[in-house]
Chain A
Amino acid sequence: MSVKDKVWLWFHRMASPAYFYNLAGQLLPWSIVATTTLMLIGLIGGLVFAPADYQQGDGFRIIYVHVPSAWMSMFVYMVMAVNSAIFLIWHIKLSDIVARSSAVIGASFTFLALITGSIWGKPMWGTWWVWDARLTSELLLLFLYLGYIGLRSAIDDRRVAGKAGSILALVGAINIPIIHYSVVWWNTLHQSASVSKFDNPSIELNMLIPLLSMALAFKLFYLCILLINSRSELLEQEKRSQWVKELVTSS
């Protein structure tokens, strides 16, 4: 079997609801353990061991929640957009379930990023909010998530809801590069990137390591929520199928 065939086989297997349901169930405990461990490392490292910043003092520590949530707000949206495209083109139901299960958690990350940023902004900048490109585009992202959730729940027919939601998710994806490059393309109050300059991050190593640990913990936390949500969505959607009936009668 060639590599290409193997990839296609994996793709098809993943798309099979019963297979995915079981795989997700097996993955879940591991991702919960990994999330907890990394989050503890990140929190203790960030709140106890990392030194205070030379200008902001201890106030900078909100970065350990703010930056991972902001990254996740964009990452989750990209997962939604890619899965929406797959659903629109290949009509793979599982992709629609992944997209649908991601929306609420993505909106929560966006909300968290906005709130923590605002709390930090008041003492450091001197204002809770300013309509600069970064803040405005991030707020727009929150509205896109809420619009997606609203649109889907307004349509009863699952297939129609999936199509409409997918198109909205794809259209909104254009906002993601705008958020990312807003601090480069325009002058803003928000500072530019500290970490993603891989050659020379503008943040000390003992401050950076807890941050990366938190970022990974947030990713795995999203995975946990995604697995739980998509498992229940799958059961709901496939309730008339043979494998769900077997699952229910056997337990």
Chain B
Amino acid sequence: MTPKQKQRFILVSLLVVGLSTGIGLVLMALNENINLFFTPSQVVAGEVPDNQRFRIGGMVTLDSVEKLDGELTVLFKLNDSVKEVQLKYAGILPDLFREGQGIVAEGKLNEEGVFIADQVLAKHDENYMPPEVEHALKVSGGDYHNNEAKE
């Protein structure tokens, strides 16, 4: 490399390194705001904003889904395998909603600590397999995707 090229090389490297550090620091500072949802543990520990809408994400607890008669209202619990939060939602659930499935709900906590959701989104996991394989895994008790949902 000629001295001129070396100089430009250093300039370009400095640009990339400097910007990466800067952006990295900004992202670290904004970490909490970039997360899409709070976990049930964070909600129980009171780390969520008061009287504000936020999102909560976790697994639907097994055998916790309860449909109120004659209404669209559904009661269910979300857990992150440490803590659990009770949710209440009136509306149409997405296709992938089932017990053991990850979901993200948006809404507000009421005084009793029940999360009143006005939107429920299914969080699909990264596992793709044909139904026969899923069945075989379930029979053999394999914990491939933490999903023991009722069919």
Interface set of A (CB-CB < 8 Å, partner B): 51-56, 60, 63, 85, 88-90, 123-127, 130-133, 167, 170-171, 173-174, 178, 185-189, 191-194, 202-204, 206-207
Q: Which of B16, B23, B36, B122 contacts A126 (CB 8 A)?
A: B122
CA distance A193 to B128 in the complex (A): 11
Nearest residue in A to B137 (C-beta to C-beta)? A54
Interface size on B, residues (CB 8 A): 39
Q: Which of B34-79 contact A (CB under 8 A)?
A: 34-37, 39, 57
Q: Mark B119-131, 1 if CB is under 8 A from A, else 0.
A: 1111111111111
Interface set of B (CB-CB < 8 Å, partner A): 5, 8-9, 12, 15-16, 19-20, 23, 27, 31, 34-37, 39, 57, 93-96, 104, 119-135
Among B23, B31, B37, B123, chain A packs the most CB atoms within 10 A around the CB of B123
Is the Cβ of B122 less than 8 Å from the Cβ of A170? no
Q: B-side binding surface: helix, strand, loop or mixed?
A: mixed
Q: A170-B15, A173-B16 are in contact. Are A203 and B129 (CB under 8 A)?
A: yes
Is the Cβ of A54 less than 8 Å from the Cβ of B133? yes
Query: B94 contacts which chain A residues (CB < 8 A)?
Result: 123-126
Q: Which of A56, A178, A186 contacts B35 (CB 8 A)?
A: A186
Query: A89 contacts which chain B residues (CB < 8 A)?
Result: 5, 8-9, 12
Is the Cβ of B128 less than 8 Å from the Cβ of A52? no
**Additional A-B contacts beyond A125-B124, A185-B27 (9; CB < 8 A):** A54-B129, A89-B8, A89-B12, A125-B121, A171-B19, A187-B35, A187-B57, A194-B126, A207-B128
Is the Cβ of B123 less than 8 Å from the Cβ of A191? yes
Is the Cβ of A125 less than 8 Å from the Cβ of B133? no
Query: B131 contacts which chain A residues (CB < 8 A)?
Result: 51-54
Which 4 interchain pairs have the tightest Cβ spacing? A126-B94, A51-B130, A54-B134, A203-B128
Among A90, A187, A188, chain B packs the most CB atoms within 10 A around the CB of A187
Query: A186 contacts which chain B residues (CB < 8 A)?
Result: 31, 34-36
Is the Cβ of A123 less than 8 Å from the Cβ of B34? no
How many whole Å from B79's CB to the nearest CB in chain A? 15
Q: A51-B130, A56-B124, A124-B96 are in contact. Are A189 and B12 (CB under 8 A)?
A: no
Q: A89-B9, A132-B36 are in contact. Are A60 and B57 (CB under 8 A)?
A: no
CA distance A125 to B135 in the complex (A): 23
